[in-house]
Amino acid sequence: MRVAGMNEMKIGEQKEKCCSQCPYARGTPKEYLDTRGDNGEAFIGQAVTASLLPCHMVDPDGEGNAQVTTGQHQCAGAAKFRANIEVEKLPEILGRLPADAINVFSDAAELLAHHKGWSLDSATIYLREFKNQWRMGYEQQMIALNNGRVQPLQIII
């Protein structure tokens, strides 16, 4: 799939299976996640917004710069997590997979608890406090899109 724009982009296909170091997969060791920084909130935020997420196991320059816009596969864990938490109104360009609560975190609290090494209760309380901030950010993004301040991608198939 290609996207029209100043520089045409080739969007990678949707992977079907999570990689061994997927941040959305239950089986990814916390020790590995710790080497990537404290990103639990970022992974949740990317999942609930219209973010194109590459499988980070494909890294052409070895610098952590995986890019789905260079034809790399879209992250299977992100697609399954989005299905698990029932994210709606995502652009067609984003890959879709069925929900999978066995291999992928079933909700944001589980993901955050695993990434931060917190109890599920602590993660739930934390998320309850910040949920409105994330929701407001998403709503602002949609308002900007609807008001023409952000241009949607044009897909060329």
Residue ranges of domains in the chain: 2-156
Which residues are within 8 A (CB) of 48 and not within 5 positions of it... i.e. 6 or more apart? 82, 85, 87, 134, 138
Task: State residue 6's pLDDT score.
Answer: 40
| Averaged pLDDT of the chain | 78
Per-residue confidence band for 5, with pLDDT thresholds at 50, 70 and 90: very low
| Of 64 and 115, the one with more pLDDT | 115
- List alpha helices for 58-119, DSSP H: 76-84, 108-116
| Of 146 and 72, the one with more pLDDT | 72
Per-residue confidence band for 129, with pLDDT thresholds at 50, 70 and 90: confident
CA–CA distance, 12 with 8 (Å, rounded to integer): 13
Per-residue confidence band for 134, with pLDDT thresholds at 50, 70 and 90: low
Per-residue confidence band for 109, with pLDDT thresholds at 50, 70 and 90: very high
Per-residue confidence band for 156, with pLDDT thresholds at 50, 70 and 90: very low
